[in-house]
Structure formats: structure tokens, C-alpha cells
């Protein structure tokens, strides 16, 4: 759901503005970067969920490997706190123009 909203954010902003009720968050670059971070994080968690749901995947060895991957991903989250994004840590933020 966040990915769909992210993809339609300009159209949503135009529609809301057309209704004479502009939403300032949709033009705030920091908020858009936070939204991009949310899109990437939920995508990562969805992928992890699907991997763990595969038959026979939920065992100690795979859980340990996925835990290590999650920790590595979490170590890249720190730039989020300073709104410093790059294509490696937050791929959707790299798509933001402006």
C-alpha cells in the first residue's frame, strides 16, 4: 500500500489541491524521503516474510541468515534519522526529483 501511494503521490497532491484542500506534507522533501524509506522498508519486510513462508525455510540456519541480513539492513537505516538518503540505503529516495 505505501508503494502505491508513493507512486501516485503527485496525482494525489494534484487531486487534493484541486479540491482546495492542499496537503503541505506532499510537497515537503523530508516527508517524501520518509515516505520513500517506508516504501523500501515495507518492501524489504514483505520479501523477508515471503522467504520465511516457503516450505522448509523457517529453521534455525535460515532464521540466523535472515537475521544477519536484517541487521545489515538496519545498519543502513541510520541515515534516515538525518534525512541523508542514497540509492543503496533507500532506493525509492533516489527516484525523488528536486
Which pLDDT value is given to residue 77? Answer: 59
Confidence of residue 88 (pLDDT cuts 50, 70, 90): low
Can you give the pTM of this predicted structure? Answer: 0.57
Residues 50 and 17: their CA atoms lie apart, in Å, by 38
pLDDT in tens, 5-64: 888 888 988 888 888 877 778 888 888 888 888 888 888 888 888 877 776 666 666 667
The C-alpha cell 533507500 sits at 90
Q: For the CA atoms of 74, 78, 79, 85, what is the dihedral angle to 10 degrees? A: 20
Residues for the chain: how many in total?
A: 98
Rounded to whole angstroms, the Cα distance separating 92 from 82 reads 17
Number of domains in the chain: 1
41, 55 in Cβ contact below 8 A? no
pLDDT range class, residue 98, cuts 50, 70, 90: very low
Residue 51: which domain range?
A: 2-95
Compute the distance between CA of residue 64 and CA of residue 25 in angstroms, rounded to an integer. 39
CA distances from 72 to 44, 53, 58 (A): 12, 21, 20
Amino acid at each position: 500500500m505505501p508503494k502505491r501511494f508513493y507512486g501516485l503521490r503527485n496525482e494525489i497532491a494534484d487531486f487534493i489541491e484541486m479540491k482546495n484542500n492542499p496537503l503541505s506534507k506532499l510537497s515537503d522533501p523530508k516527508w517524501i524521503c520518509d515516505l520513500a524509506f517506508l516504501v523500501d522498508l515495507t518492501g524489504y519486510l514483505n520479501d523477508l516474510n515471503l522467504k520465511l513462508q516457503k516450505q522448509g525455510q523457517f529453521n534455525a540456519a535460515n532464521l540466523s541468515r535472515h537475521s544477519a541480513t536484517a541487521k545489515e539492513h538496519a545498519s543502513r537505516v541510520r541515515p534516515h534519522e538525518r534525512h541523508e538518503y542514497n540509492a543503496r540505503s533507500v532506493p525509492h529516495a533516489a527516484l525523488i526529483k528536486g
